[in-house]
Amino acid sequence: MSLRYQINLRIFISSLCILLLGGSIAVWQARKSVDKEVDSSINLAVQLITFGFSQATHAPQTETDWLPQFNALKETRHLSIQLKQPSGEVATFSPQQTHQREKPPQWFINLVKGRHPKAEHPITTQGGKRLTLIIQANPLDEITEAWEESLDFFGTLLLLTLFTFLAVNLAFNKALKSIAIIVNALKIIETGQYRQKLPDFSILEYDSIAKAINHMTTQLNASQQENRALTQHSLAIQEDERQRLSQELHDELGQSLTAIKVMAVTAGRSSQAGAVGTRADIKQTTDAIISVCDHLMDVVRSMMHQLHPLVLAELGLKATMEDLLHHWAIRNPALELTLDCPDEVDALEQKITIQVFRIVQECLTNIVRHAQAKQATIKLEIVGHSIMGRTLRLQITDDGLGCAADKIKTGFGLLGMRERINSMDGELTIQTGPQQGMSIIANIPLK
């Protein structure tokens, strides 16, 4: 159901309720007005007739002469006046018919018409003659007037309702056009075209929505550009790693295996020749082969550690972190590294442990390259209860140069850390200041 239909339906229902309420009030007022008018006319007629008879002094006109003239007055048009003689004879004076008006519907007459019995009033003429005045009300004229007023009222209400419908629809046409523009823009944004911008609107509410959507698209476009740059950087790193591994395989493994092969062939030929000193040559060759094999094992172990630390799956996160800090401490003796890690982290899921290991690895790289720190602390803890939900909290703090919070460079390392933490539904917080070091805090929910 569209908004326009809902609003129009509510206006129609409200108008119908107003019409019913107004009709009830109009009928009640018309009935009350007719009763009041008829009663007033009867009282006025009685008083005037009584006064006329009592004030007649000289050769007055008889009642049959002036009562028809009185009965012809406009104010007595809905009264039927009769005079009853002492002898019982009744003289009827019908009201003068005015111009014929359209008769109201019978249902309206039944609703408005009240009960108006005959009113009998005794009067005495100047000559002492006693008469009985009989007045019968016929409120059809008053009901007709009430009907005409009701038609005017309902006609006015209908015009107001139509005007309201027109005004609301005109306002909604403008509003719905703005909504259509916003919806079309959102459909374009849905396809990934985040550079789509909404125009300014004259309606304040729609203009606020447009500005909010434009701000959102700006942020989405920036995030999209960052993700593209991060993807390109990751692909470049991947290619560099492949090139480096290929070079190491060619330089280290290829040359070493070639040397082993040459030494093995030489040793075989020497043993077949049976020359003097063969044992000594073979011993020297085997020692060289052992040395080359040890070197190959170190190279392979180093390459495997760079690709994926096997100790992480074999010994757990804590031992892997200790091994990582040991290697960094050997390469950077001026940097004091401290690890605070409970044993229970070894029970975490592997997808969490590898991400935490990479985050710590990236943080240590940044500290060594940029912070010029003397101390760095890595703290891991599990907070919360199993019933309420637990959280893995990782905090890496150094006493390096730091920087203003609003000037943190969003390099690929930081973007990579954010992506890793977001992939685990976690939150990343960075606290820093000039000459105050830096603290990176990651909260990762545990299922």
Distance CA 13, CA 359 (A): 64
Do residues 18 and 138 both lie within one domain? yes
Q: What is the pLDDT of residue 398?
A: 93
Distance CA 235, CA 194 (A): 24
Do residues 46 and 125 both lie within one domain? yes
Cα dist from 417 to 315, 371, 395, 420, 441, whole Å: 24, 17, 13, 5, 11
Cβ neighbourhood burial of 130 (10 Å; 0-12, 13-18, 19+): exposed
Does 419 map to a domain? yes
Domain end (from 302, 324, 339): 302
Question: Between 83 and 443, whose confidence is greater?
Answer: 443
Domain tally for the chain? 3
Distance CA 81, CA 94 (A): 7
Model confidence pLDDT, tens digit, residues 2-20: 767 787 788 788 878 887 8
Q: What is the mean pLDDT of residues 351-364?
A: 89
Do residues 226 and 313 both lie within one domain? no
Do residues 158 and 9 both lie within one domain? yes
Does 83 map to a domain? yes
Does 196 map to a domain? no
CATH of the domain at 418: 3.30.565.10
Model confidence pLDDT, tens digit, residues 255-293: 777 777 777 777 766 666 555 456 667 777 777 888 888
Q: What is the mean pLDDT of residues 328-341?
A: 92
- Going by pLDDT thresholds of 50, 70 and 90, the confidence category of residue 374 is very high
Does 193 map to a domain? no
Do residues 132 and 230 both lie within one domain? no
Distance CA 410, CA 398 (A): 19
Cβ–Cβ < 8 Å for 395, 411: no
Model confidence pLDDT, tens digit, residues 426-441: 899 989 888 888 999 9
Cβ–Cβ < 8 Å for 126, 53: yes
Do residues 34 and 59 both lie within one domain? yes
Do residues 151 and 47 both lie within one domain? yes
Domain end (from 166, 190, 219): 166
Domain hosting 7: range is 3-166
Cα dist from 60 to 64, 87, 127, 273, whole Å: 11, 21, 10, 181
Do residues 345 and 228 both lie within one domain? no
Domain end (from 302, 320, 335): 302
Question: Between 110 and 246, whose confidence is greater?
Answer: 110
Cβ neighbourhood burial of 308 (10 Å; 0-12, 13-18, 19+): exposed
Do residues 352 and 442 both lie within one domain? yes
Q: What is the pLDDT of residue 49?
A: 65
Say which residues have a Cβ less than 8 Å from residue 12's Cβ, sequence separation at least 6. 161
Q: What is the mean pLDDT of residues 308-328?
A: 84
Do residues 149 and 12 both lie within one domain? yes
Does 185 map to a domain? no
Do residues 145 and 282 both lie within one domain? no
Q: What is the pLDDT of residue 96?
A: 52
Does 178 map to a domain? no
Query: What is the phi/psi pair of residue 126, to 5°?
Result: -60, -30
Q: Nearest-CA neighbor of 324 among 309, 313, 314, 344?
A: 309
Angle at 329 between CA 328 and CA 333, to 5 degrees: 125
Does 189 map to a domain? no
Do residues 130 and 244 both lie within one domain? no
Does 337 map to a domain? yes
- Token digits for 45? 């007629």
